[in-house]
Structures are given as structure tokens and as C-alpha cells.
Structure 1
Amino acid sequence: MSILILLIDTVGGLFVMAILLRFLLQLVKADFYNPISQAIVKITSPLLNPLRRIIPGVGGYDIASLVLAFIVQAIFVLLKLKALGYMAFPPGTVISLSLYFLVKALLDLYTFALIIMVIASWVAPNSYNPGLMLLHQLTEPLCSRVRRVVPPIGGLDFSVMVVMLAIVIIKGALPSLIPGM
């Protein structure tokens, strides 16, 4: 039973992260010729392209990606509840859990990206690795906004620490922000 739940969490989490990453990469206008971007497009396109015919983008935002991420997350929440032995699935609970896990996945994605960027800045500064370039394109919009308020002091950039602190605070408050949690 626990292996099934682990499998559901792993597969569901990775696929939802891929969909969210595709949305975020479009949002920050990342390089789509990057091999990692191309892989994400290939993984998500079979489900996303048909949904785009129904749900158009709004104001340059790919709403279909967010809807797909929510639908996939809801399916995996239902599978997990079924694997745990629950027979009744109240729609409000499924929606709340799906929203919670979706926002948590988004925050986890940024947490991992920031940690990798910090470690890479120590180990391989100015590296042109495609993965690091993509993570830089993903995290820089957040960090640059923080840098406007908290400029580097003595050559030390505290923007990553401020963003990480904000993520920790949001994660702590997340259960109270989502209705029904």
C-alpha cells in the first residue's frame, strides 16, 4: 500500500512540476531552444495541446497549463485518497487538497531552483550549463525584484535569502490560506 502511494506521489508530483515548469518558463520568457525546455514541451504537449483548443491564453498567460496542472493534481489526489482507502470524495476536499499540493509544488520548485543556483554559484560560477541557464532565467525575475529593495551589501547578494524566507513563510501559512484545509 505505501509503495503505491509513493508511486502516485512521485509520478504525480513530477508530472505536475513539469506542467508548472512549462507555465513558468513561458511566463518568464525563457529560452525554448534550450534542450531541457524542449524536453518539457515534449512531455507536456500530448495533454496540453488539446486543452489549448478549448482554453485560450489570456493576456499572454497560458491558462490551459494551469488548468491542466490542476486537473492532473486532482486526479492524483483522487488516486491517493482511493489508495488510502477512502470511499467518499467530497468535491470541496479534493479541490482544496489539489490547490494546496499545486501551490506547494510551485513553492518547492522555486526552493529547489534557488538552492541549486546558490550551490552552482559556489561550485561553478559563470557556468553555461543549459540547466543552470534555465534555472537562472526562472529565478532571476524574483531575485531582481528583491534586489531593487535590498541591494547587494559589500558584494553579498541577499536577494536569494529574502526570497527563500518569503517561500518559507508562505509555506507555513498555506494551510490557512486555502479554504477547507
Structure 2
Amino acid sequence: MSALSSSLSFLIQTLGGLYIMAVLIRFLLQLVRADFYNPISQAIVKATSPLLKPIRKIIPGFGGIDVASLVLALILQIVLLYVLLLIGGYSIAAVPFPSVLISSLVKLGIEFLNIYMFSLIIIAIASWVAPNSYNPGLMLLHQITEPLTSRIRKVIPPLGGLDFSLMVLVIIIITLKNFLGALA
């Protein structure tokens, strides 16, 4: 692979990955019914709406779940994989669609886990550096992670003021990432 194609591959993978992450975050924000007046939520909505609106006309939501966001993320991941294969010198016909679909689903699963993992790490660091902060980003991260951490707190309550739910959730996420990584 030449230096130009390597640089182009890196650029496309980074920009595509960031946009896919924004679509997944939008899905999560709607799933947990996060504050959509938050400026970060508004930015994510504005960034993802141009591609999401046409898909929503075809694919409606189901039971409060924004299926269109998941479909858009999957389509974008499949397109991204095919573009990266083309840049790498592979023929599209040489790579069967089922393997690209499975790879895309695994990558999206890992991306979901990464979103939660980094959210938990940022929350943990912020609790040491700036406890009780009302930063809009931290508020969204709390809203995304609270449904999972509250379930863990029911099983393992805070002990002596220490909340172990974040650590338990990180261990679960790492285990799931290792499992999905073995599938990829």
C-alpha cells in the first residue's frame, strides 16, 4: 500500500468512524431519553439529520427505539468497509457481502462498547477532578450510562461512599469487547 493510499485510508476511516459514532450516540441519546436541549445533543442532531431524515421516512421507530439510526449506522459501516477495501486494492466482488455484513455488525457492537467504556472513564476521572460538575458533556454521559450503572448498584450498593458500579461495568465491557474481537 502506497503512502498516499495509506493516508487516504486513515483519513476516510477516521472521518467515517467519527460520523458513525455520532449516529450511534444519537441512537443512545434517544434510547435513554437524554436532554435534547443540551448543546451537545443539538450538535449531534444537526450533524446526523441530513442522512437520517430520508431513512426515517422509510423505517419508522419501534417501541421508542430509533431503528433508522441503527440502519444508518450499519449502512455507513458497510460502505466504509467497502471503500477501505477498494483503497487497499481489493475487488468488491472478491469480498462476499455476508462477511462484510457480519464484520460491520461486530464493529458496530465494539463501537457501542467503546462509547460506554470511554463515557465511564471520563465520568470516573471527572468525579475526582471536578465532582458535582454540571458540564453539558458530563450530564449527557451520566444520562447515557445511568440506566446500566443503576442496575449494577441494585446488586452491589455503594460501600463507604465508593461506587463500584463503574468498575464492574468496565469489566463487563472489556469482557464483551474481547468476545467480539475474537469474532472479528
TM over 0.5: yes
- Structure 2 residue 137 is the aligned partner of structure 1 residue 108: no
Per-residue CA deviations over 1:25-50 (Å, capped at 9, x if unaligned) read: 00001000000000000000001011
Code of the residue aligned with 1:148 in structure 2: it is K
Identity of aligned residues (%): 61
| Residue 77 (structure 1) aligned to one of 78, 81, 88 | 81
Gaps of 5+ in 2: none
The count of corresponding residues between Structure 1 and Structure 2 is: 178
Match of residue 91, structure 1, among 94, 97, 109: 97
Unaligned stretches of 5+ residues in structure 1:
none
**Superimposed CA distance per residue, residues 68-101 of structure 1 (whole angstroms, 9 cap, x where no aligned partner):** 0000011101111111111122101110111111
Q: Match for residue 118 of structure 1? A: 124
Please report the TM-score for the alignment, with normalisation by the length of structure 2. 0.94
Instruction: Trace 1:49-68 onto structure 2 (pairs within 5 A).
Output: 49-68=53-72
Describe how 1:1-181 pairs up with structure 2 within 5 A.
1-87=5-91, 88-176=94-182, 181=184
State the AA in 2 paired with 1:123.
V
Give the Cα separation in 1 of the matches to 2:64 and 2:81.
29
**1:59 is aligned with what amino acid?**
G
Q: State the 1:147 CA deviation.
A: 0.4
> For 2:162, what is the secondary structure of its paired residue?
coil
2:90 match: secondary structure:
coil
Letter in 2 for 1:62: D
Q: Distance in 1 between matches of 2:181 and 2:131?
A: 37
The list of structure 1 runs, each at least 4 consecutive aligned residues, that deviate by more than 3 angstroms after superposition, is: none
Aligned-residue Cα RMSD (Å) equals: 1.0
Q: Distance in 1 between matches of 2:56 and 2:102?
A: 24
TM-score (structure 1 length as normaliser) = 0.95
SS class of match (2:133): coil
Q: CA deviation at 1:175?
A: 4.0
3-state SS, counterpart of residue 9 of structure 1: helix
